[in-house]
Chain A
Amino acid sequence: MSYVNAALRPVFDLLLAPFAGLPPIVSLIVVSLLTAVLMLVVFKRTSNQTALAGVKRHIHAGLFEIRLFNDDLRAILRAQGEILRHNLTYLRLSLAPMVWILPPLVLVIAQLQFHYGYEGLRPAEATLLRVDLKPETVSAGIRPEAALDLPPGLIAQTREVWIPDEAELAWRLVAEREGDFEIGVRIDGAPLVTKTLRVTRRVVRLSPVRVEPGVLAQLIYPAEPPLPADSPVQAIHVDYPDREVSALGLGLHWMIPFFVLSIVFAFALRGWFKVTI
């Protein structure tokens, strides 16, 4: 999974880089369009288009029958039964392409979440740095030796707070200027582990947490490479504010315009791609 993420991160960074300075809805429109095209192509290649067209014809015929014989209750009920049956067939025929569409879509959404789900920090805006230690590396009653290695422009406003019950260390950080920073954390003399922190107004990839290796963890948090497996650190968190995408005067979670636009584009382009959906 780490290799997949390592390959996808630069692809999405490159794809979205031209739009980084623009309102997020602009690049979301482009991404939704590309997603719609991708889904149409995959759907066309992995579905039984002939059977789908036949089923849709049957459904239309049923609807037509209901309108035509609207004074015949038995005919209406029979037509509704047929529509239901053909709908189930339609769903069955759609399952196969969905199996092909969903996995890449999950990867796409996971990548997009870290471009659109969070806002970069601003200069002078405080954030919390949390370091979760692996419970097995923590000895009861003994405070871990923790040291931060901060680049110029990034300041720790507090010393660490140690929370034994949660095996967690926490600091308050603040950046003096915009930029990309790499925070170094050293625990009990173990090798330094790092975490990115970005102070920017641009729409760029932001990683709120760097996690330990693992398929599920890497699927959910693909924005940064995993921590070394032998590190006493389980995860490093940086709090970024949640982002709302402004669309039609509303502040929305990015997935709402993304799905709406993808569906709209897919329906609008299905004729051009000669796809029955």
Chain B
Amino acid sequence: MRAAVLALATVVAVACGEGSDPSMPRVVILGLDGMDHELTTRLMAEGRLPGLSRLEKMGGYAPLGSSIPAQSPVAWSDFITGQDAGVHGIFDFMHRDPQTMLPYLSTSRTEAPEHVLRLGDWQFPLDGGKVELLRRGRAFWEILEEHGIPTTIVRIPANFPPSGTASRELSGMGTPDILGSYGTFSYYTTDRLAFLGKDIAGGKVYTVEEENGVIAAELVGPDHPLKTIREPLTTPFTLHVDPDRPAVKLEVGDEERVLEEGEWSDWVTVTFDLIPTQTVSTEARFYLRQVRPHLALYVSPLNLDPMAPALPISTPESWASELAAATGRYYTQGMPEDTAALAAGVFTREEFLAQAEIAGGEVLDQFPWVLSRFDRGLLFYYVGNGDLVSHMMWRPMDPDHPAYDAEKDAPFADVVPRVYEEMDGLVSYALDHLGDDTLLIVMSDHGFTSWRRTFNLNAWLHQNGYLAVKDETLPEGMELFQNVDWSGTRAYSIGMNGLYVNLKGREKDGIVPPSERGALLTEIAERLEATIDPETGSPAISRVYLRDETYTDGGQREIGPDAVIGYRKGTRGADASALGEVGKEVLTDNDKPWSGDHEMDTPAVPGILATSRPLKRPAHNLRELHASVLAEFGVEPDEAIPGRN
């Protein structure tokens, strides 16, 4: 009996893989989203990134080639699978359904229950709905786990819901808020004229009334899943406004907070009642922006509660709450830095940076705890703060940017370098706390640069006779191809870099015979590459990547666009075009707060790779790095890795 117990314990220990083999390599990867090679190199030369400088001396530092296109979900999927989008099936943040011409999120899909019992206004699911990860191909941690190597994967993008194939996982970019969006904030104000007539993307503005020092309002959740009619779940909250001082007491359910003007709350649990025995738990942070003359309260997107997530966010399921219990509650939404609030004018730059610091600080603060529990095998730890701050704060570093305003921008010129310093602090911490036997890999998925000029691809297609509209007189703002005449359209664009042929037999109203597809794409590519930006006198597009020549035929290629546009450094596709709108002008100055970007031609925006010792198998791009990581454990990748981009 005793022998049997010992044998069982041995099997369990081996199965768990931890502490079983002291000779097992230890590899820690820090994934620093959007860390740009050019800027990093400059800051290292200035002595501002001592951690990375140490790494350069220990093992090396070099640019790392990104994916085609250089978008985070695509790039991380390249690294995760060691394959291109033709295999992993992620070509963009969004794909389109050729039968409906509507976009959908490329990385995950939520399916409602197939069978429901309807009783009047109520419906009761008879089976479970599901959330499906759409990334295909085998992740490097899945391969390692099969070889008995334990892995911990924290917040790697394109991994929601968590794959379930690592020992521990926490999902990151792609994890929605409770509304199913990438993050929808709420803004409560007593000012009836605030944002009147303005389009607020990524948030909702609610006008509220103060009565005898009390403001009663509601937090709005998702639609009631048990109702047949669309009816959002709501939960009330109350603000008691101090009659003399700029401060309030906030009451949400059983939770109470005191907030002074300009203060952020900690995480507040927000619960929505479904039926008497069932609730949906979320969490939010409240920011009291102003008390008088008008109250203004920002409420963060309602995040999935890490203590009781309504959707799967970790492996094992309890790990998300274990992390929260140990280090405090945290943003579970994949991209927590609220760029939408800044873009909408709900936040000032200072307020955005304060919010970004909270979100980024949580990730940095969790690292020591995660690292302290790392024993053997592989730990991947992702930091996304640098990417989203760079998007919003790049212009202050670029006096040549068309919207640069020295007075307003100059005070923020050092914001991005300071974020780099914070990330470098993480590198130094890891180096100081890891033994010599541990390999530290610091990498980024792509670089960054200034986004100065905007290219509206649908407008170009229209002006060059490839896309027809129903009514030339209609104003701009008709998203999702509302003004597109498909009977006269041969090509269209949706997503940040994607160009599609309106193919007969594939698209709902396709008109281009498959036999003409190749010639049409070649023609469009040549003309696009010859397009000169009159402002710069240079080509606006460096290269057009034809799908069939660019991606492996790995079973997913048909999902992707027929061509991917590699915009010249400094030029990026227009948001409007990405959402299926046909603009009036092709090339315009970028005057948005979103002023840094990377969705340009891949060679123009390399990321970084730094290691604490030379890699057994050198890597020049993300796909090669997949194989390099496996090689450190003596494991071969599934298939030969294609060559450099």
B260:A158 contact, CB within 8 angstroms: yes
B258:A162 contact, CB within 8 angstroms: no
Is B620 on the interface with A (CB-CB < 8 A)?
A: no
B243:A164 contact, CB within 8 angstroms: yes
A126 to B174, CA, bound (A): 31
Stretch of B30-38, B69-77, B245-253, B331-339 with 4 or more beta carbons under 8 angstroms from chain A: B245-253
Is B212 on the interface with A (CB-CB < 8 A)?
A: yes
B247:A158 contact, CB within 8 angstroms: yes
Cβ contact of A165, chosen from B212, B245, B248, cutoff 8 A: B212
Q: How far is the CB of B276 from chain A (nearest CB, A)?
A: 18
B240:A166 contact, CB within 8 angstroms: yes
Q: Give A96-152 interface residues, CB cut-off 8 Å to B.
A: 126, 128, 130, 143
A172:B257 contact, CB within 8 angstroms: yes
Interface 1/0s, chain A 162-204, versus B by CB < 8 A? Answer: 1111101011100000000000000000000000000000000
A143:B243 contact, CB within 8 angstroms: yes
Given that A126-B266, A161-B249 are contacting pairs, would A172 and B258 also be in contact in the complex, using a CB cutoff of 8 Å? yes
Q: How large is the interface on A (under 10, 10 to 19, 20 to 34, 35 or more residues)?
A: 10 to 19
Residues of A within 8 A of B548 (CB): none
A170 to B260, CA, bound (A): 12
Given that A126-B266, A170-B249 are contacting pairs, would A162 and B260 also be in contact in the complex, using a CB cutoff of 8 Å? no
A159:B260 contact, CB within 8 angstroms: yes
Q: Give B283-334 interface residues, CB cut-off 8 Å to A.
A: none
Q: Give A43-83 interface residues, CB cut-off 8 Å to B.
A: none
Q: How far is the CB of A118 from chain B (nearest CB, A)?
A: 13
A165 to B240, CA, bound (A): 9
B258:A171 contact, CB within 8 angstroms: yes
B248:A161 contact, CB within 8 angstroms: yes
Is B19 on the interface with A (CB-CB < 8 A)?
A: no
Q: Give B234-271 interface residues, CB cut-off 8 Å to A.
A: 240, 242-245, 247-249, 256-260, 263, 266
Main secondary structure of the interface of B (DSSP, over half): strand
Is A13 on the interface with B (CB-CB < 8 A)?
A: no
Q: How far is the CB of A206 from chain B (nearest CB, A)?
A: 17
Given that A128-B257, A158-B260, A172-B257 are contacting pairs, would A164 and B248 also be in contact in the complex, using a CB cutoff of 8 Å? no
Q: How far is the CB of A208 from chain B (nearest CB, A)?
A: 12
Number of interface residues of B (CB under 8 A): 18
Residues of B within 8 A of A130 (CB): 256
A161 to B259, CA, bound (A): 9
Residue of A nearest to B321 (CB): A251
Is B618 on the interface with A (CB-CB < 8 A)?
A: no
Q: Give A239-264 interface residues, CB cut-off 8 Å to B.
A: 239
A158:B243 contact, CB within 8 angstroms: no
Q: Give B43-83 interface residues, CB cut-off 8 Å to A.
A: none
Q: How far is the CB of B553 from chain A (nearest CB, A)?
A: 49
A51 to B194, CA, bound (A): 79
Residues of B within 8 A of A171 (CB): 258
A229 to B236, CA, bound (A): 36
A163:B213 contact, CB within 8 angstroms: yes
Given that A128-B258, A158-B260, A159-B245 are contacting pairs, would A164 and B266 also be in contact in the complex, using a CB cutoff of 8 Å? no
Interface centre among B248, B249, B263 (most CB of A within 10 A): B249
Given that A126-B266, A170-B249 are contacting pairs, would A161 and B240 also be in contact in the complex, using a CB cutoff of 8 Å? yes
A159 to B240, CA, bound (A): 15
Binding site for B on A (CB under 8 A): 126, 128, 130, 143, 158-159, 161-166, 168, 170-172, 239
10 smallest A-B Cβ distances: which pairs? A163-B240, A172-B258, A161-B247, A161-B242, A161-B249, A170-B258, A170-B249, A158-B258, A158-B260, A161-B258
Binding site for A on B (CB under 8 A): 212-214, 240, 242-245, 247-249, 256-260, 263, 266
Given contacts A143-B243, A171-B258, 15 further A-B pairs with CB under 8 A are A126-B266, A128-B257, A128-B258, A143-B244, A158-B263, A159-B245, A159-B247, A162-B242, A163-B240, A163-B242, A164-B213, A170-B249, A170-B256, A170-B258, A172-B258
